[in-house]
A and B are shown apart, each in its own frame.
Chain A
Amino acid sequence: NAGVTQTPKFRVLKTGQSMTLLCAQDMNHEYMYWYRQDPGMGLRLIHYSVGEGTTAKGEVPDGYNVSRLKKQNFLLGLESAAPSQTSVYFCASNARGRAYGYTFGSGTRLTVV
């Protein structure tokens, strides 16, 4: 049982490049989330999804897009990377009605130069 798997684990991008981060969960969770972690700012919610085919904006959605075409996958896209998007990105999933049931991925460390 892998839980929540994020790929890639590390990536360096040049300003203006695009990329997609993949989050996959095998727990049949309805809810999925993308957070970014920055020193002194904690974790901030970028986008989230409460079910297949649905997405919603979180606290810091600008510059990111997401898709949830399959229940088990939640993709985070950066269309034109900026240095301000240098961060560690965490994906999490959760069963409906269980806020305490968050399962986190191991994170993706992204550097934009």
Chain B
Amino acid sequence: AQRVTQPEKLLSVFKGAPVELKCNYSYSGSPELFWYVQYSRQRLQLLLRHISRESIKGFTADLNKGETSFHLKKPFAQEEDSAMYYCALSGGETSGSRLTFGEGTQLTVNP
């Protein structure tokens, strides 16, 4: 079974402060990990995926297989980063590319 855990439901930081959204997963095979973001009144959209090892909007995430974690980080938070963030895992094509989502973390960046 695949499972994703985001231990923080709410996270509040000040503008310019570093931010880290935690994500832990359990999966017996080689997972694909993603971060999705949902801004207020908008649909979910992909933020980044571990395979691409890219930085989007200043966010990065590194897959740590030893700790089974995929934490999302940004060195200097901006007010426009306020949103709901979901970590998600896919078991790949054999599972119909289904995504298993974490509980979500509501990030608030205060001015």
The reply to whether B44 and A90 contact each other, CB–CB distance below 8 Å, is yes
Cβ contact of B43, chosen from A45, A48, A94, A104, cutoff 8 A = A104
The reply to whether B96 and A56 contact each other, CB–CB distance below 8 Å, is yes
If the complex has contacts A97-B93, A99-B34, A106-B43, are A41 and B98 also in contact, measured as CB distance less than 8 A?
no
Size class of the contact patch on chain A: 20 to 34
If the complex has contacts A58-B98, A99-B34, A100-B32, are A43 and B86 also in contact, measured as CB distance less than 8 A?
yes
Cβ contact of A40, chosen from B96, B101, B103, cutoff 8 A = B103
If the complex has contacts A42-B104, A99-B99, are A105 and B43 also in contact, measured as CB distance less than 8 A?
yes
Scoring A41, A50, A99, A104 by chain B CB atoms within 10 A of each residue's CB, the highest score goes to A99
B92 cross-chain contacts in A, Cβ below 8 A: 99
Residue of B nearest to A41 (CB): B103
Return 13 A-B CB contacts under 8 Å, by A number: A33-B99, A40-B9, A40-B103, A42-B86, A42-B102, A42-B103, A42-B104, A90-B44, A92-B44, A99-B32, A99-B97, A100-B49, A102-B36
A contact residues vs B (CB 8 Å cutoff): 31, 33, 35, 40-45, 48, 50, 56, 58-59, 90, 92, 94, 96-100, 102, 104-107
Please name the 6 residue pairs, one residue from A and one from B, whose CB atoms are nearest each other, closest first. Answer: A99-B90, A43-B101, A42-B101, A99-B97, A42-B103, A104-B44
